[in-house]
Chains A and B, each alone.
Chain A
């Protein structure tokens, strides 16, 4: 059964109302427990076929990465989180990246971005022809609670960009 967005929307609105004081006070543990997590029973599946050496790979992180010089940071104040994503170029270097995400320790990623976004390992694998192509563009999200906005607005746009780049496999790394 697909995600029932209407049912989620009602539960989510109630959760926002009840959780706002705790959220504003930084009491995350409680509100995470009461979040109306909606996951359908089914598990989507697209069979993998072919050989990585002939395919195009893209990375997706939920670490709140953005380009400090040219992109806005994610909204880290709203209880809804931020449903937008940033495009991260293959050529990105450690010093180009900012991290806007309040709910994990950035210390290790600030030392080495590959701990959460192994772009440089993928570039090496492309050079060694273990994978065919590493896409020119990769994707970063931050903290998101507003699943309705994510599903209705953001994901169709993301999928259209993945298809425009002819991505064969998406490697997702949450934080």
Chain B
């Protein structure tokens, strides 16, 4: 996935990706990424939690508009089956 993101960004299309392991992300060095505290196979949280899925997509849109340094990773505060922080 890291190579795909790099190639697309190099081709002139801005990208945003996600991850759940900071050590792996530090190695891959994505141009822009969100870091979540969820396990593999559920980067957007619990099945059926539309509000949380939407919120994470919106976090991605915000990251696009606010990240200005290559390699920026923003950690999101959401925790599995816990309410979103206000």
Q: Could you list which residues of chain A lie within 8 angstroms of chain B, going by C-beta atoms?
A: 3, 37, 39-40, 43-48, 52, 60, 62-63, 104-109, 111-112, 114-116, 118, 120-122, 124-125, 130-131, 141, 147, 150-151, 155, 158-159, 162-163, 167-175
Contact = CB atoms under 8 A, between A and B. Distances in A.
Given A39-B28, A45-B31, A130-B61, A173 B70 contact: no
Contact of A121 (B19, B29, B54): B54
A82 to B, nearest CB: 13
A39 B54 contact: no
B: interface residue count bin: 35 or more
Contact of A48 (B1, B5, B19, B64): B64
A151 B3 contact: yes
B8 A170 contact: yes
Given A37-B27, A115-B53, A175 B13 contact: no
A71 B33 CA distance: 30
Contacts of B50: 114, 120-121
Contacts of B6: 3, 40, 43-44
A174 B14 CA distance: 17
Given A169-B16, A174-B19, A175-B40, 9 more contacts: A44-B70, A52-B61, A114-B44, A118-B56, A171-B17, A172-B1, A172-B4, A173-B43, A174-B18
A118 B64 contact: no
A112 B47 contact: yes
A163 B12 CA distance: 10
Nearest to B19: A174
Given A114-B50, A169-B15, A60 B4 contact: yes
